[in-house]
Amino acid sequence: MEKSNGNKATQIFWSIVSFLRRCLFLVISVRPIPHHIAFIMDGNRRYAKKRKLKEGDGHRVGFLALMSMLKYCYELGVRYVTIYAFSIDNFKRDPEEVKSLMDLMREKIEGLIKEESIVNRYGIKVHFIGNLKLLSEPVRLAAERAMEATANNSRGVLSICIAYTSTDEIVHAVQESCEEKSDEISVMNASGAGYGLLQLGGNEKEERENIVKLTDIEKHMYMAVAPDPDILIRTSGETRLSNFLLWQSAHCYLYSPSVLWPEIGFRHFTWAILSFQRSYFYLDRKRKQS
């Protein structure tokens, strides 16, 4: 009986907390809300060392922190969230650690498909971003199943950057753009129409130099599924981007709380939003000037 009463009291308490949080978000929403927030989840290993946990346990606690951040984002009305889950450079770590991370990743990816998962609860479409060919087959297949299972969700987008670096993304986009233009030129030449380098009296040298345009590269970026981020949050007090969204983050607000990733909480999230709102008109002006 006492246990039952305790459970009811706990449920009531968290219901009140959730209600108050939503009320605060309504107040915050009076000012501009970011469309896209990106996270660099830094500090899982240091957290495990600090708390004398097994190394892998730091990542498990970090996953719980991620679920809280996703909940806050979608409750506030942020449509796009991107997380830096695993860099290509992380493959250089100890093989046992990499294997442990891949196993944990597959376990959590498969959890996204479950009906009660956060992505289904909030109607979130999941994209896995990066050079997925570098992943082990079980992880890659799990990622493909998660993308297929959430393809019809439309209330928000979660992009998980895995086997990703920004330089790899840019090289990939340039290669894809060049191959696409090469195919177009081949088709035009085969039809006898040429590629129109001198159309409308244009200069041949200028036309050749501009065959591949900025828009061609941007549409082939892995992150073409989302607009550029408005806020990039990196924990542990680090201000480095670590080869993450270098192309997309030219005009976003950078927030670097000193806490380790598993320690990030509601107050840090709220402060990031308020800080973004204070800087919004300056950032928007700079974006329009570029």
4 occurs within a structural domain: no
Query: Which stretch of DSSP H or E encloses residue 65?
Result: helix 55-76
- Give the pLDDT of residue 205: 52
| Residue for token pair 């090469």 | 182
Q: For residue 105, what are the domain limits?
A: 34-164+228-289
- Give the pLDDT of residue 276: 96
Taking the C-alpha atoms of residue 143 and residue 141, their distance in angstroms, rounded to an integer, is 5
| Banded model confidence at residue 230, pLDDT cuts 50, 70, 90 | very high
**Phi and psi torsions of 233, nearest 5°:** -105, 125
- Give the pLDDT of residue 113: 83
Residue 25 CB contacts under 8 Å (≥ 6 apart), including other chains: 75, 76, 77
131 occurs within a structural domain: yes
pLDDT higher at 167 or 188: 167
Domain count, the chain: 2
Residues 51 and 121 in one domain: yes
175 occurs within a structural domain: yes
220: pLDDT strictly greater than 90? yes
- Give the pLDDT of residue 242: 95
Residues 263 and 185 in one domain: no
Residues 158 and 80 in one domain: yes
As annotated, the active-site residues are 42
Taking the C-alpha atoms of residue 46 and residue 50, their distance in angstroms, rounded to an integer, is 6
Mean pLDDT for the stretch of residues 43-47: 94
Residues 53 and 141 in one domain: yes
CATH code where residue 41 lies: 3.40.1180.10
Residues 61 and 178 in one domain: no
48: pLDDT strictly greater than 90? yes
For the chain, the average pLDDT equals 89
Closest CA to 256 of 13, 14, 42: 42
Residues 74 and 185 in one domain: no
Taking the C-alpha atoms of residue 138 and residue 164, their distance in angstroms, rounded to an integer, is 18
Per-residue tokens: 51: 């708390």
Residues 173 and 75 in one domain: no
Taking the C-alpha atoms of residue 260 and residue 127, their distance in angstroms, rounded to an integer, is 26
The bridge status of strand 80-87 relative to strand 124-129 is: unpaired
Per-residue tokens: 69: 């951040």
Residues 61 and 104 in one domain: yes
Residues 170 and 159 in one domain: no
28 occurs within a structural domain: no
- Give the pLDDT of residue 207: 53
- Give the pLDDT of residue 32: 94
Mean pLDDT for the stretch of residues 36-49: 96
Taking the C-alpha atoms of residue 272 and residue 174, their distance in angstroms, rounded to an integer, is 34
Beta bridge partners of 164: 87
- Give the pLDDT of residue 73: 96
pLDDT in tens, 88-120: 999 999 998 899 999 999 999 998 888 778 999
- Give the pLDDT of residue 290: 76
142 occurs within a structural domain: yes
| Banded model confidence at residue 198, pLDDT cuts 50, 70, 90 | very low
Mean pLDDT for the stretch of residues 224-251: 95
| Banded model confidence at residue 134, pLDDT cuts 50, 70, 90 | very high
Residues 117 and 86 in one domain: yes
Looking at 221, 242, 262, the residue that finishes a domain is 221
Residues 129 and 246 in one domain: yes
Mean pLDDT for the stretch of residues 68-97: 95
pLDDT in tens, 175-189: 999 999 888 877 777
- Give the pLDDT of residue 206: 54
pTM here? Answer: 0.89
Per-residue tokens: 25: 């978000």
Residues 171 and 281 in one domain: no
Q: What percent of the chain lies above the pLDDT cut of 90?
A: 71
pLDDT higher at 48 or 7: 48
1 occurs within a structural domain: no
